[in-house]
Chain A
Amino acid sequence: MVAERRWRHVSPLLVGGGVIVLAMAVVAMLGSFATPHDPTAMDIAARLQPPGAAHLFGTDQYGRDILSRVMGGAGIALSVGVVAVGIGLGGGMIIGAVAGFYGGLLGEALMRLMDALFAFPAILLAIAVVGALGPGHLNAMLAIGVVNVPVFARLTRASVLAVQQEGYVEAARAVGGTDLHILQRHIVPNGLAPLLVQASVSFATAILAEASLSYLGLGTQPPLPSWGKMLEEARLFMDRGPWLAIFPGLAIALTVLGFNFLGDGLRDYLDPRH
């Protein structure tokens, strides 16, 4: 049971962010079956068409419809975000909870390991993992997920320690609660807030990370329409077909913005100190 109810402030950021994220989710769903054209179908004769009636966002170097590809890319971006953040959150929560709850040597060792992982610049670690596993968006998801584990672990451990300090745990123990029960009823609900906020932010950085990996040739591979891959392909045509880069770039920016707004809004909502 959450101990206190505080007055919650719903800021425009939360609403704006939520709307954008929802819109992206809808686009992603549509992207898997309701795109104007097949995102991977080539039509060489119609290559590099500027935006027009037949192709709202124009066509790329193979004649593929960019609007359809951007919509398809939404699905990939969101799935990368979900899996990467899922891995980070899941792994991080387990490690952080164990470290915080049980403490001692195990806790110390785990947190040192997290520090070590955290020390690597995110891109570097992601590149190294993808380099080891091979290019591809599944491996990219895994790599970005691994990169996200330390930050969630730290947050979880901090929450666990904070809750412990506030005496709930002792009280619950005094009443006879088991470890699992304490974790479930006290630690998790109170620790959830910062995790949610971080999740939104990590979602955004995961999308950016995938774009960077794809740009370097290590992420999503053809013919999948990932936004980052589209940007990488578009680079070669920037002077003849700026629309190739503008729309995926805007899509990335918009989605990242949405999640950042959401994160900020959640922070305001859940912790109204501001």
Chain B
Amino acid sequence: MPRLVSHPDEVKIVTRRFGQGAAKIERYIELGGYEAAKKCLAQGPEWIIDEMKASGLRGRGGAGFPTGLKWSFVPKQSAKPKYVLVNGDESEPGTCKDHLIFLHDPHAVIEGTIIAGLAIGAKTGFIYLRGEYRYLLEFMEKAVADAYARGFLGTHIFGSDTEFQIITQTGAGAYEVGEESALMESLEGKRGVPRIKPPFPAVVGLYGGPTVINNAETIATVPHVIAMGAAAYAAVGSVRNGGTRLFGLSGHVERPGVYELPMGYNLRKMIYEVGGGVRGGRGLKAVVPGGSSTPVLLPEEIDIGMDFDQVGKAGSMLGSGGVVVIDDQTCIVEFALRTISFYQHESCGWCIPCREGTDWLKKSLTRFHAGFGETKDIDNIQYLAENMMGRTFCPLGDAAAMPILGFVKKFRKEFEEHLGGKACPFAKRVELAVI
């Protein structure tokens, strides 16, 4: 069972019911659950969307798009049914926050889905979990069944004339399905190959109907925004970044775990105070601030507030909030190789720059790490990665290229130390794959 952690600097909004048995519907109701959905039912769609806009809540999946604005893009009238789709395909390396939400507070996901449905006028919501999360899918399915039994879901939710149904879905292993158009393809029973945009999902989405797609954390936050009020929620965070975020601290920290901290919380403080510093008193070499696809930060770059805008200004991304801490005994070339191996494995092959780029980057980095690299390879790695950027249907190509560019640019010296047939100064494992 994943361990829950705590720190005095945390502001527990989304996690406030964690560890309190709220997966049981009676307990969830006891703790104030489903009141926000009832309030939204009474207030109507425009009020909900205004509240969401005022809250400053931005998408927790990685892109940070304002949630209220996203919901407002869905046309009021539609010939085809509208849908809410909850993205629980959590698979960005470094990220495990939704894991805890499904485990400890599945009804918050259901309640948030109902509210999103009320806001856009949808009658059906889908909750999609990655295939590896089978035990969590069972939790979700039990919670959905309990919500139906209480009349919170169905043809007359909370005794009203409004209908809302929830359907759960499992994936079967695919990082790319975390991309919204690939997610819809997967839910339609196809390969998770991304769609070309436009049209955007808000206009033509699932089964051709207007669709709102939100990350599970975003959706689980929605009832709390309604319950505490948009202004109070916004006030917790930083400018244009409302509320809190579930940050996953992993790698070489003393106290890894998922911590709920205000948006804009200082990254250095997060690592050294919340996370207890680098494990074993070692030095800090680098930080990947928002999941494996986000460009690396150097120790002198971590005095920044962790929100979408400030991390962006520092040349990286807040992404999924997965903060991976790397100590000074780690080989960056090996880390880069493991990162690109993942993206090479996950590339669907639809777009040539991604398919060929990830494959060549993996080959180049494998050879480089084994000590068979040449000086020109460093530039070639950079050239390959630069030419993947912005040239693919979905962001997987960028997600693979961005971290590699960061490693090469910021750790060029360490790449050079692998030249001339020298063994990797750090690694225990050096394998030269057949190229």
Do A and B form a real pair?
Answer: no
Residues on A facing B (Cβ under 8 Å): none
